[in-house]
Each structure stands twice: as structure tokens, then as C-alpha cells.
Amino acid sequence: MHRRFKQHFRRKVFNLDGIWDFVFLGDVQPDDIDDLVYDERMAVPGCFDATPAYAGKRGLAAYRTWVTVTEASTYRLVLDGVHHWGRVYVNGQALYDHIGGFTQFRTPTVYLEPGAVEIVILVDNRLDYARTPLHLDYFDWYHFGGIARGVELHQLGSVWIDNVRVITEDYARRRVRVTIDYVASEEPVEVSVRVNSDPEVILAAGQTEVVLTLDDTELWTPSAPHLHTLHVILGNDDMQIRFGIRQVRVASGQILINEQPVQLRGFNRHESHPQFGHALPDSLLIADMQLLRDMGCNFVRGSHYPQDNRFLDLCDEMGMLVWNEATGWQQTEQHLTDPHYIDAQLTNIEEMVAAAYNHPSVILWGILNEGSSHIAACRPAYEQFLSRIRELDSTRPVTFASNHPFDDVCLDLADVISINCYPGWYGGTIDSIPNHLDSIVAHIDQSGYADRPLLISEIGAGAIYGWRDVNQDRWSEQYQARLLDMVIRHMFVDRDRFAGLAIWQFCDIRTAEATHRALGRPRTFNNKGVVDEYRRPKQAYEVVKHWFKEN
Ligand code: ADA
């Protein structure tokens, strides 16, 4: 996994990023492929359908690269994001099928002799419920296809570390719990753990958990985001992770970080760009972070899928708070009662939590954007997903964005109540916004949730970059600027009930050409960004900056 810190000093890791051989196969089933002729080249990471030759194409594609290993050993591949179905072959042997983009997966181990190794990855970006139920054609974003995040080959040997997790048990006492998952063919093995440059702690053979008290160690806070490294050594293998000591909890309608209330001010952010698809280069991650900070944001909702770990690393370093969300968009009763969908979603949740567990910036886990949380038959799915997250991580509050503020039947399951609404855009005028927001607050509080933090997790207006019009109507930059001015003023100046706001949205994004939506999506883009898809600021940018930064 490509990170802002070195993860392995002992383990040999082959970074496979670069230009791979490529062939687009189109309407072919993965089980039907024959001899492949790689007549093209493609960047990894990259999205093939964001390149001119394959723009808009859906189908099966094959990527191939070669790597030379020098030692006979067991190995496995680590893939950070393949959109949105993938099958991995090593030397012609099919090792693993993976469903869903945006999450890391690791193949089973494979024994390799020294020499050249052929790695082939079949990638399918078709929208096919039977194979990839997490990515459907009606979603309001464009599902780019390809190997959008990094690929590595790890040499493992007979004893190796699978995962290292750190949670803060008691922030005031600087107490953290470290859990090490490892695989060892010969028991017992001894593990050593070192935090920063402190003396190492040796665990008894077979011990996989240790509680460390890190006296005088700095806490992680949004304004002083101190990070620490933890290096675990097991025989010839090792793994370094990075963590922060901080506590998140909710009480009396507030989100508290180390017992200090924090008001979340930020945006929904898609990982999308017309030229790179979901494979955002480092320079764009930096640009996004600069713009968010320039506007005075302290919060990003990762809409509507798990964010890239490179971005989360930056958030850790900059003190940017994150809602990390499992993949989803307006799932219906049909999906939420279908075991096929539920299984895929549970895996997505597990992969999201595993990949982002150690990030102090992640303060909220989210699921199922605008799912059918108003239908009683869907409640068991909400219960199942949220309780799975709580089993995996009991330290972070959980939430889901509801667009049913007045008839939701699942709100009691969330630690933080999050509402998506579009007053002044899909209905009403800008002047109707205060009453609409007040009626949501009144309903939520009267329904028994007055003590839960309340977020507006989406609100916004479309504006076409550069369209400044004397009438200042919908789609003009002025309309969007006036609408957001009203929203922020009302939420944070006139009222003090809201724990946070995620404006819809940070940047314009390409979306699917769904006919029912076509007229509401000029350019086939969702144009509600305060910057356009090339990150050029619209008028609303300065309005948000004024309120977030100067008030
Ligand atoms: C919904 C949805 C967003 C986006 C937005 C819009 O609230 O959650 O993904 O589609 O509407 O622009 O209408």
C-alpha cells in the first residue's frame, strides 16, 4: 500500500506501479478468455476509461506485467483498488476474484521460484448486479474502470505479519492497545514492538496483544495532529504503521475529540477527475487538500466510498477530520433484503475498516448513503452493517446519511444523525432554507434524538463554472454562492444545534448518463462543486471561505 511512511524495512516489497501491457476485450466473460494479445499499454495506477481511446467503454480488460524475484519463497499481491471487479493470476494461476472498487485486497499466498513472474489482472467495469452488486448504473457518479490504486508484490516467507492495529484505550493516560495478526508455520514466535524510538517491547511467544502506556506522548488533535510510528518485528518480517492518540465520543449533541467539542465544517469529496478517473495523482491530492484548508475546512465526508489511504495519510498529518463511508448509493428494499448484496456490502465494510483502522483522522464510519432507511424491511440490513462495524471497531461513532429526516425508521441505530437535504435546489427558494432546516431540527429533537450530534451531510446547489448571470438563477455561480451563504449563516450563526456540515460538494464530478437524471445533470456532470472538475473555484468558494475561516 502506498503510504506517507515506510511500512517495511525487512520485508521485500516489489512496487509494480508503472506502465503495464493492456488489452480491452469488451463484451467477453472472464471465464471465456483465450490467448491474449496485449496490443496496448496502460498506466497503473490509472483508469483505462479515462484515457481518450477507451473513454466511456465498459467491458473486460486484461493488464499484464512482469517482475523478477530472486528468492524461492511465498509471496502475495496487495492491490489497493481495482474497479470494480478483478481476477488476479500469477504465472497463469488464478489466485483471487475481488468484488468492488475503492478497497484494498490481498491475494492468497503463492510459492514462487526465482525468475521472471507474470502477473495478469482481469478488470471488469461493467455494471452487472450479479457480479458486482456494489456498483450500479443509477448511481450519481461515473464508475471509472481500471487498476486505480497501487499494486505491490510482497515476499513473505514462513512467518509473516498480516496486520497491525492500534486503538487508543485511554487518551488521558496515553494508553494504546496493539493487536498483531500474524501467520507462522512454526510456533512459537516472538514479536517485538517499538513505538517511535522508545526501547522495544518483547511479547511472549504466541502473544498477539499488548497494552502500552506511552508517558509524555503528544496527543493527536485537529489543530496539533501529532503522529507516532509503531514498528513490529517478527523474525525476518516487519510492519510499521502510524497512529495518533486520541479519543472520539459523542455526548449532549456534540462530537468530542479528547473531550473537546468540535464543529465539523467541510465538504463531501468524490475521488474523481475527468483525466484520471478515480486514480488521483499525488499532485491532485495535494491540490485538494490545499483548497480545503484554504477554505478553512476541518472535515471531509468521503462520498460515497472508502477514501484512498494516501489521502487519509494527508488528513492524519493535517488534522483533517474524516467520515469514511462504505460504498453505497440509494440502495432499495430489493438490495437491502438480498443476501447477495448484503454479503458484498459486509465485505466492503470489513475491507474499509481494515484499511483505515489506524488513521486518527477517521472519526466516523458511515454506510449506505441515502439507502431506504424509511422502510421497515430494510432495518435488519442497517442493524447488521452497523453492528458489524461496531464489532470491528468500538472506538468510533457510526452514522449513515438519511434523506428521510421525517420518516426514517433507523435513526436510533446511529450515534450521529446525518441528514441530506436540498432546500432551495430541488424545491423551494433560498429563503425557504432556514424554515426547512429548523423543521428538521425540531423533528429530530422531538423524536428523542436531542442528545445526538446532528449533521447536515449534504446540501448544495449546481453552478456551471463561469456562468455568471444578471438574473442570478439556478445554475449560475451567484445562485450557488447565495444558497451556501444562507445555509452556513443559518446553521452556524443563527443556530447552535448542528454539530457539522458537509456541503455537497467539493468538486464537480462526471456522472452516469441515466436518462431520468439527464436534464438535471448538464454536461453529464454533477455540477454542485464549489470548484469545478479541474479545481477552478466558483464564486461560492469565497463565501464558504469567509464563513469557515473568518467566523
Ligand atoms: C444525493 C446524493 C448525492 C448527489 C446529490 C445530488 O443527495 O447523496 O450523491 O446525487 O443527491 O446532487 O442530487
> What is the average per-residue pLDDT within 168-174?
97
CA–centroid distance, 419 to ligand 1, in Å, is: 12
Q: Is the dihedral of CA 163, 365, 45, 34 positive or negative?
A: positive
Q: What is the pLDDT of residue 412?
A: 98
Distance of CA 68 to the CA centre of its chain: 33
> What is the average per-residue pLDDT within 442-463?
98
How far apart CA 285 and CA 507 sit, in angstroms, is: 12
Evaluate if residue 550 carries a pLDDT over 90.
no
At 468-497, the pLDDT tens digits run 999 999 999 999 999 999 999 999 999 999
Looking at ligand 1, which atom is closest to the CA of residue 462? 12
CA–centroid distance, 199 to ligand 1, in Å, is: 50
With cut-offs at 50, 70 and 90, classify the pLDDT of residue 416. very high
Three-state secondary structure string covering 21-82: EEEEEECCCHHHCCCCCCCEEEEECCCHHHCHHHCCCCCEEEEEEEEEECCCEEEEEEECCE
Looking at ligand 1, which atom is closest to the CA of residue 458? 7
Q: What is the pLDDT of residue 89?
A: 98
CB distance 505 to ligand 1 below 6 Å: no
Evaluate if residue 184 carries a pLDDT over 90.
no
At 65-84, the pLDDT tens digits run 999 999 999 999 999 999 99
Amino acid (1-letter code) at residue 548: F
CA–centroid distance, 140 to ligand 1, in Å, is: 7
CB distance 140 to ligand 1 below 6 Å: yes
At 3-38, the pLDDT tens digits run 999 999 999 999 999 999 999 999 999 999 989 999
Evaluate if residue 385 carries a pLDDT over 70.
yes
pTM above 0.95, yes or no: yes
Nearest to 511 by CA among 144, 145, 146: 144
How far apart CA 437 and CA 457 sit, in angstroms, is: 12
Q: Output 382-387 pairs: Cβ under 8 A, ≥24 positions apart.
A: 382/336, 382/410, 382/413, 383/410, 383/413, 384/342, 384/346, 385/326, 385/345, 385/346, 385/349, 386/413, 386/414
Q: Any idea which residue has 456490502 for its cell?
A: 345
CB distance 528 to ligand 1 below 6 Å: yes
| Cβ atoms of 253 and 497 closer than 8 Å | yes
Kindly state the DSSP code that residue 379 receives in the 8-state scheme.
H
Return phi, psi of residue 249, to 5°.
-150, 165
Mean pLDDT value across the chain: 96
